[in-house]
Amino acid sequence: MARPSSPAAESAAGTAAADAAGPDRRDRAWLQALTTEAAALDRSSTAERVADALRRRVTEGHLAPGTRLSEEQLVAVLQVSRNTLREAFRLLGHEGLLVHRLHRGVFVTELTDEDLVDIYRVRRAVECDVVRRLGEVLDPAAGPEPLGQLRADVEAGEDAARRGDWSAVGTANMHFHQHLVALAGSPRLDGTTARLLAELRLAFQGAAAEHVHGPYVARNRALFELLHAGRTEQAATELEEYLDVSLAHMTDLRHGPRR
């Protein structure tokens, strides 16, 4: 998630090289695939690994929102220097998971109700726009079925729901929306949605995963079917209602059904 670059580039390039004629075509495909992977190779950098570790702890709920992350303590545990730890803090801070108060330290972000509204405000703008403009980019050639990833996410969610694994339902749901936006092919939109969904995970903590994620496997399926049928405008309005309902649901879960 740190690199919003689109995955699945390799498989697409592979099939493209297979049916292409001429050695030049294949060379270009290979190079294309290599360059996309090159960025992922040198991604090490201790700070990013530390950030990954902390991100997992936060998004999986091991660190409650509001808790302070002591530099001294984490330096001792993670076996890294204070500077690199601070670098990791910066990374997560710009992702919205950690908030940095001057001379006070870093804390796990506490989402206010306004934040929740704001997040869904942006999601609605981004995701609905992506869906509405899908026709401009999706129809031609229909290459390797761009919706395949979405279908996989929907089915993964349904499987997990049957198994009662509501945590897996949640991640499948996240992947569904991430991949939905990825259809636009915009690195910046990918990045913003990745940040939004990461922040949203903070709000999921402390509530029963079944109630948080359960109701949306059916809606994901419905949305996917609309997209697959090419009814983008209808899908967009469905998605708008989807997100509004989801926001209302979230605020209810926080304050109790009535306030």
Least Å distance, CB 87 to its own copies, is: 7
Strand ranges (E), the chain: 68-69, 98-101, 105-108
Among its own copies, DNA, none, partner that 26 touches (CB below 5 to 8 angstroms by kind):
none
Query: What Rg, from alpha-carbon coordinates, does the chain have?
Result: 20
Q: Considering CB under 8 A, how many residues would be counted as binding its own copies?
A: 32
Least Å distance, CB 99 to DNA, is: 11
Please report whether residue 82 would count as binding DNA according to CB under 7 A: yes
The DSSP code for 3 is: S
| Residue 181 burial (10 A CB sphere; 0-12, 13-18, 19+) | buried
Q: Which of 3, 26, 28, 86 binds DNA (CB under 7 A)?
A: 86
Output the six-digit token pair for 223: 């949305």
Q: Which of 13, 108, 116, 189 binds its own copies (CB under 8 A)?
A: 189
Output the six-digit token pair for 196: 């939004």
Binders of its own copies in range 24-43 (CB under 8 A): 42-43
Output the six-digit token pair for 57: 């702890």
Q: Which of 196, 198, 227, 235 binds its own copies (CB under 8 A)?
A: 196
Looking at the Cβ atoms of 5 and 70, the one nearer to DNA is: 70
Binders of its own copies in range 59-118 (CB under 8 A): 83, 86-87, 90-91, 94, 99, 102, 115, 118
| Residue 169 burial (10 A CB sphere; 0-12, 13-18, 19+) | buried
Q: Considering CB under 7 A, how many residues would be counted as binding DNA?
A: 23
Q: How many helices (H) and strands (E) does the chain have?
A: 13, 3
Q: Which of 131, 184, 243, 250 binds its own copies (CB under 8 A)?
A: 184
Mapped onto helix, strand or coil, the DSSP state of residue 102 is coil
Long-range contacts of 136-139 (CB under 8 A, 24+ apart): 137/183, 137/184, 137/185, 138/183, 139/230
Please report whether residue 102 would count as binding DNA according to CB under 7 A: yes
Binders of DNA in range 16-45 (CB under 7 A): 42, 44-45
Output the six-digit token pair for 239: 């998605």
Binding site for DNA (CB under 7 A): 42, 44-47, 68-72, 79-84, 86-87, 100, 102-105
Binding site for its own copies (CB under 8 A): 4-5, 42-45, 83, 86-87, 90-91, 94, 99, 102, 115, 118-119, 121-122, 124-126, 128-130, 184, 186-189, 192, 196
